[in-house]
Each structure stands twice: as C-alpha cells, then as structure tokens.
C-alpha cells in the first residue's frame, strides 16, 4: 500500500511544482523532507529523480524502504551534518511546532551555500481568517488548544503572520525570496469589498511601509495557504 499524503489533497502537487521551479530533477540535488510522515512526498521527489533524505518525529511511520528517515528530537534539531542539502522542505509542518528560531537555524545550518528552504502553512491573513478571528477569536485552521494533548501532529500551535515568518527567518540566516499561495479562497473573494478599507487603515496606521503592504496584498488576503521560499544567508546576532 503506498504511503498516505497527510495533507489537504493537492498540497503535494503544489509543493512539487515549486520544487521543480527551484531545482531541475537530478541526483545531484539533495533534498531533505522534514516532517515526512509516511513518506508520500519523499517518494514522489525520489521518483522525479532527486536524492531524498527524510526526517520525522515518528520515523517508524515512514513507509518508503529506499529512503533514509531519521528521527527529529523534541528540540527540533535536524540529525544531519552541516551543508548537507540543496533544499529543505517543510510541508504543513511549521504550524505544529514551538521553537521556530531553533528549527530555522537548523535548516540554515544543514543547507549548502545558496540552498533553499520551502515551507507551506495555513494562511491566517486571508479575509476569511480575519473575519473568523473577529467573531471567534481563532484564525482559519486553528482551534482551541488542549494542554493535555502532547502529540505535535494533533494540534496547530503557531498562527504566525507573514511578517512574523520573515522576522524569524532573517534572524536564522534565511532570506525570504518568494511568496506564493496555493489557491484563492471563494469565501475570501466574497469579502474583497473590504480591501479598500484595509488599504486605507493600514496606510493611516503605518504609512507607506512595504512590509505592511505585502502583509495586506491580494495574495495574502485571498490565499488559502502560503508558500514561502527562503535562501541561505548569514544569520544575524540580534536577539528576538
């Protein structure tokens, strides 16, 4: 039985498109699939012709025999050597973890010079998500947290904005170079009449700030997921 895709249908297709836009399939391109689950995405990457390594908190669940899957620890350390990978991917993972700076520094450490990091996560900045937060106090794809549940797969812990991701990535030595979404939400399109008001209030509050403009762009207001691609850089020494 093939490994199961543990994500919304189409998520892996979308991730593969972005991977191939970054690196043409080749055995010389070494990819780490972090949070690999049963190995569905790892297998597809391997079948395309990439060299693939995997890592997961539950490596015994990994079902692809010809790909190595090592166990990630509670500290989010990546159990591979420095400068090991051309690309690290984390598909629908970062919303499940606590300790993003540690993890992103580990990604930076294991990437080769010029290496890329691709992550996908639910977009809490969509108009749908903003309305949900207004009326419920919870963002799209995030529910009330149960402190008695310790399985990191079971809950979404980290509702981060684009601005927050850029901030932590930069501190870890990863420069954000691409921002995409997987699809436009119909419910957010319905709320698009709010766009002029959002632009006005944002300008009144923050002025002509490019980061604020990007945070309130149509991509962020309408997208279901965000896909962020960053590149290995030199980490800053500033504290968060």
CATH number at residue 171: 3.40.50.150
pLDDT, tens digit, for every residue of 9-24?
889 999 999 999 999 9
- Inside any domain, residue 217: no
pLDDT, tens digit, for every residue of 91-138?
999 999 999 999 999 999 999 999 999 999 999 999 999 999 999 999
Count of domains observed in the chain: 1
- Inside any domain, residue 65: yes
- Inside any domain, residue 158: yes
- Inside any domain, residue 197: no
Q: List the 69-71 sheet strands across, edge first.
A: 69-71, 51-56, 30-34, 85-91, 111-122, 225-232, 174-181
**What pTM, to 2 d.p., does this model score?**
0.93
- Inside any domain, residue 143: no
What 3-state DSSP class applies to 184? strand
- Inside any domain, residue 193: no
- pLDDT-derived band at 240 (thresholds 50, 70, 90) equals very low
Domain that holds residue 157: 11-123+150-185+224-232
- Inside any domain, residue 87: yes
What 3-state DSSP class applies to 211? helix
- Inside any domain, residue 5: no
């Amino acid at each position: 039985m093939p490994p199961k895709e543990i994500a919304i249908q189409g998520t892996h297709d979308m991730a593969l498109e972005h991977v191939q836009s970054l690196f043409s399939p080749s055995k010389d391109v070494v990819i780490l699939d972090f949070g690999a689950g049963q190995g569905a995405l790892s297998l597809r990457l391997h079948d395309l012709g990439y060299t693939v390594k995997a890592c997961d908190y539950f490596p015994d669940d990994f079902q692809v025999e010809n790909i190595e899957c090592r166990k990630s620890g509670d500290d989010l350390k990546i159990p591979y050597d420095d400068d090991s990978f051309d690309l690290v991917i984390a598909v629908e993972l970062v919303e499940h973890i606590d300790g993003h700076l540690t993890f992103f520094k580990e990604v930076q450490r294991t990437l080769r010079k010029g290496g890329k990091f691709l992550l996908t996560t639910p977009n809490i900045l969509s108009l749908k998500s903003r309305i949900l937060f207004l009326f419920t106090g919870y963002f799209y794809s995030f529910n009330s947290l149960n402190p008695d549940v310790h399985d990191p797969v079971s809950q979404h812990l980290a509702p981060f904005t684009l601005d927050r991701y850029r901030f932590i990535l930069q501190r870890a030595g990863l420069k954000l170079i691409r921002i995409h979404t997987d699809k436009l939400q119909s419910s957010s399109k319905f709320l698009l009449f709010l766009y002029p008001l959002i632009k006005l209030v944002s300008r009144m509050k923050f002025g002509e700030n490019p980061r604020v403009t990007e945070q309130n762009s149509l991509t962020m207001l309408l997208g279901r997921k965000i896909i962020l691609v960053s590149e290995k850089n030199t980490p800053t020494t500033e504290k968060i």
